[in-house]
Structure 1
Amino acid sequence: MPKPAEIDAAYRHACRMEIEALKPGNVHRFADGHRMSAQQFLDSADVSAAAVCHSGWPVGRRILHAIRATRETVGTNTNLGIVLLCAPIAKAAEGGGDDLQKELATVLGAMDDGDAQDVFRAIALANPGGLGDAENDVAEPPRVPLLVAMREAADRDLIARQYVNDFADIFSGGLAAYRTAEDSGETSMWPTVFTYLHFLSRFPDSHVARKHGIGTAEEIRLEAASVAGQLGEITAEPERLQLLADFDRRLKAENINPGTSADLTVATVFAERLNFVLHNSQVSA
């Protein structure tokens, strides 16, 4: 079982790797965007880690306290999706088993009314839009269990979808994309980049769909698939960076931010790191 310090280190590592990667349309170390900076995301990771990885806390409490700390520090919604995904994973890592997804399913199934209240309060505090449009408005006290509310939003929100499919899109597709990149010899930021492009090319991004409509989200998905295919055929790093930077500028010029794909990427890197810890006696932070 990972130690609390190892879970904390894995979370910070995942958040840092996501910012280190050139993710077209999203904030990263190569370019800020959408009135947010890379440093704000790094600060958000630092101040949210204690709550996300707080040993023994229920999931909802972790999420609410992490979002409160983030709002107090950066004053904007930088990490709601990240926290919604990573808090259950962090709790699952405390379960003692060697199958992280199985432990996660147990964690999700055990969430109660207190978790629902805290998660709804956190979403309202972050004020991201989207989930609040559902029948069970997050601005109001929850009238149904959290998983019921997530199920109602799952067809239009990929983060809600993870709560009702035991994070299958992360533990199957996301981890497979990350490991395929590593097995192909990719290092540094590139496994993270390929993971991001996997999500962006596999699903219409939920954040893009909410802001610009499903048609635009589908257009971006198809373009991401094309970019991912080209990237796999290029070996020279300067050419790779140019391809991604051009896509990045096009998206940001149209104020298109595939934030959900970035959130899923963080959760994938977090799960990958925790799986490494689970199956290795030592791991460096």
Structure 2
Amino acid sequence: MTFEPPAVPLEAARAAFLEACALDVSTPKPGNVSAQSPGHGMNAAQFLASADASADALFARGARVGQRIFDAVTRTRAAAGCNTNLGIVLLVAPLAAALDEIGAMDATRATTLTATSWRAAVTQVLAKLDVDDARLAYRAIALANPGGLGDAPEQSVHAAPTIGLRDAMQLAAERDSIARQYANGFADIFDTGLAAFAQAPADAPQAAMLNVFLAFLAGWPDSHIVRKHGLALAQSVTLAAREQHARWRATAREAARRALADPQLDTWDTELKARAINPGTSADLAVVTLFVARVLANAGQPRAATPHG
């Protein structure tokens, strides 16, 4: 049997998405819903159902970004009955479309996907987003009803957009970390996120998820907390996250798996949930980082050559 360099595998990417979403709820993260700790009126089963419901829409071959977003949110709403994954959907849709385009551009020969080539393809996808993508995304956001996301002086999601989706996201980039990825070409995912992922042991995926989450939460105020509770409280959570992250990393270097059962993180989780504080945006960024990391890792594996004749 001969082997070729791996192509861009859309089905493998779909599987990586589902794996990252499952890892999200199997990893206890302070303030977030997990299998061990429900909260904010939601449980892990709803997040898993949302991932299953949205996957086909996000990885639909040839679909425009706005359509992927709208279909994924519509199916999520039907499956979970609430907004469980809007941020994840908004982030994965352009990434999936970029994989789609890479595959279409190189249909005759297999190529190795890299962070650089994927990032470049994402930039091209973002540049082509138009007002139709914005209309579909706005409908999805209104359906998800995240609370606060559409309260903007310009291009509110409660009115029909008059500019392309990336331009609309750029208007919100300073106040929303999901929107910022559209403005900066997913720099936070490919830079901050993947760097934090690389710090964790390769055989400890939960430690990687937690490290990425804490890196984002410690890096800047969580957008979801800002919208719900204001900037001052969000900044206080960021400062606490920096202390917790530094302490956890020191422990994790000795025993990554044991460090996940951390009484201090558990206590912080209880305190945050008691105050209805949910670092949801940091969790969304972490999930998408793990998705990207898994796709890139899979792309580095050889695949059997397709028989000819």
Instruction: Tell me which interval the TM-score lies in, with the shorter structure as reference length.
Output: over 0.9
Residue 274 of structure 1, CA deviation: 1.4
The answer to whether the 8 A contact 1:201-1:222 is kept is yes
Structure 2 counterpart of 1:33: 39
Structure 2 counterpart of 1:126: 144
Structure 1 counterpart of 2:91: 85
Between 216-225 and 91-100, report the one with greater CA deviation: 91-100
Structure 1 counterpart of 2:71: 65
Structure 1 counterpart of 2:108: none
Whole-angstrom distance in 2 between the partners of 1:66 and 1:239: 31
What do the CA deviations read for 1:120-175 (whole angstroms, capped 9, x no partner)? 11001101123311121102111122122111111100000000100000000000
Whole-angstrom distance in 2 between the partners of 1:84 and 1:239: 29
Which of 164, 167, 186 in structure 2 is aligned with 1:145? 164
1:221-240 mapped onto 2 (5 Å cutoff): 221-234=238-251, 235=254, 237=258, 240=261
Which AA in structure 1 matches 2:225? V
Is 1:270 aligned to residue 298 of structure 2?
no
Structure 2 counterpart of 1:171: 190
User: Structure 1 residues 225 and 145, CA, compared in 2 at 3 Å: closer, same or farther?
Assistant: same
SS in 2 for 1:131: coil
Which of 172, 177, 181 in structure 2 is aligned with 1:162? 181
Structure 1 counterpart of 2:4: none
List alignment gaps of at least 5 residues for structure 2. 1-6, 104-110, 305-309
Whole-angstrom distance in 1 between the partners of 2:205 and 2:162: 45
SS in 1 for 2:97: helix
Structure 1 segments (4+ residues) deviating >6 Å: none
List alignment gaps of at least 5 residues for structure 1. none
Structure 1 counterpart of 2:230: 213
Structure 1 counterpart of 2:131: 113
Whole-angstrom distance in 1 between the partners of 2:123 and 2:218: 26
Between 193-202 and 15-24, report the one with greater CA deviation: 15-24
TM-score scaled by structure 1? 0.95
Tell me the percent identity. 44
Whole-angstrom distance in 1 between the partners of 2:73 and 2:30: 25
CA RMSD of aligned residues (A): 1.6
What do the CA deviations read for 1:16-68 (whole angstroms, capped 9, x no partner)? 11111111000011100000001100000000000011111111100000000
Between 213-222 and 136-145, report the one with greater CA deviation: 136-145
TM-score scaled by structure 2? 0.87
Which AA in structure 2 matches 1:44? S
Report how many aligned residue pairs link the two structures: 281
- Of the two, which has the highest radius of gyration? 2
